[in-house]
Structure 1
């Protein structure tokens, strides 16, 4: 029996500056139900607080504590390990890591750095990894959708560093099973009692299924016709988050 419902955010709850039609009401239904609700995102262009503020402004009702972001998980790991990271991240979230010791870095953190993915920055990250610094990836998404267009995400750059330095990245966000299981632990249920709703067949659906969760793909956001065939496992594919919540509530 389903006990919890997890939502991806961008592309599932909103696109661009607008909420998906009926999404706020659907999330409200889930929040009012016995299901425990969490919001999981790999976004590395916004702080957790900004994600919360933006959702509230779009009419969603949720608590900051319900949002789990990959950058926050990455920071927690770095602090636990005592690493000094070279942060190749977006300028809008750089402040989240300001309190970490970044002198003489012995680790590399890569998120969606946008214009920050310059040759000098990537070259420095490469040299550090070549010398043995662990490579931490904020998610492994190939692309994301913004204002109607698809854009490169952090995944391709992480793959390039892995290839060049002969290393393997530690992926903190989706599709890493540990990220999903951390969220599952926060609601205190079994993985198979949770459904993940997302628009990314690899990051959201396949990642969740690999961690033992249920999953549902929505045909909004970055979804492209035929994406559902990109995963060999069976899962529901519905028009939007509205139908996904109806499915979860039975």
Structure 2
């Protein structure tokens, strides 16, 4: 068997609601004993907050969940003692005892919403020029909250890289490190392969396929069918219900 990695935003959560077939999908995963986890690029939630959100919507999650915030926090604590962090205010306490506004070893960048402006960009630029490394929770180009496309942190991180000549260490998708971490936390060898279902053609699906995984693109989020062109996912579905059919085929031996 190969582990199944499931994106969150655009797949399970659309806007501020869960998809109509999400409960059925997770009942299927649980009943079939498919090794699975949620692998989200979210920097707005820890896995605990994600599970609470789903519970409030009537979905009790029984599989592990990882967010880019969780894995970044783990990485930073292993590698640095002094950091400057750009994330939502309600998450900053997770870095307690590590915050250094004067001479940080690294600048950790997540989602700060409309706080992106020239002063913020220039502040980060100067930290990096003074020797700080860049740690990106993810490098998404854009996302789609409430049905509207907006710039994501990746656009600003790329600008910092260009101005400083330094490359960020990217923790979230499409980083192979993130996929590898999830697969191994499920108790599998990364070399055995995995399956990724997501709404982001580039960061979820093609990134998984590029490192030996199989990709299922779901058209409920940011990617539309006309955007696929020559970048072909292994599978394309319109809903989690359709994804279940594909997953059954991929686990044929288990369902015989």
TM-score for the superposition, normalised by structure 1: 0.92
- List per-residue Cα deviations over 1:93-145 (Å, max 9, x = no partner): 22222342435312111111112223222211101111221101111111111
Residues 1:199 and 2:199 aligned together: yes
How far 1:32 moved relative to its partner?
1.7
Q: Match of 2:135, SS?
A: strand
Shift in CA distance, 96/116, structure 1 to aligned 2, threshold 3 Å: farther
**CA-to-aligned-CA distance 1:159-205 (integer Å, 9 cap, x gap):** 01000111101000011001000001012224454211000011111
Q: Distance in 2 between matches of 1:14 and 1:36?
A: 21
Structure 1 unmatched runs, 5+: none
In the alignment, does 2:102 pair up with 1:95?
Answer: no
For 2:167, the equivalent position in structure 1 comes to 168
Aligned to 1:69: 67
Q: Distance in 2 between matches of 1:190 and 1:227?
A: 33
Match of 1:94, SS state, is helix
Whether the 8 Å contact between 1:47 and 1:92 is mirrored in structure 2 is no
Query: What are the residue-to-residue correspondences of 1:39-78 with 2, within 5 Å?
Result: 39-63=38-62, 66-78=64-76
What is the Cα deviation at residue 148 of structure 1?
Answer: 1.3
Structure 1 residue 53, shift from structure 2 partner: 0.5
Distance 1:122 1:130 in 2: 12
- Structure 1 residue aligned with 2:220: 220
Query: How far apart in 2 are the matches of 1:125 and 1:201?
Result: 29
SS state at 1:173 partner = coil
SS of residue paired to 1:140: coil
Change (3 A) 1:78 1:143: same
1:81 aligns with 79
The alpha carbon displacement at 1:152 in A equals: 1.2
**Compared with structure 1, are the counterparts of its residues 166 and 194 closer, same or farther at alpha carbon in structure 2 (3 Å cutoff)?**
same
- Find the aligned partners of 2:79 and 2:186 in 1 and give their Cα distance: 25
Cα 1:143/1:234, change in 2 over 3 Å: closer
Structure-2 residue corresponding to 1:148: 147
Q: Offset at 1:234? A: 4.3
Off by >4 Å, runs of 4+ in structure 1? none
- Indicate whether 1:238 and 2:237 are aligned: yes
**How many residues are treated as equivalent by the alignment?**
247
| Aligned partners of 2:215 and 2:233 also within 8 Å | no
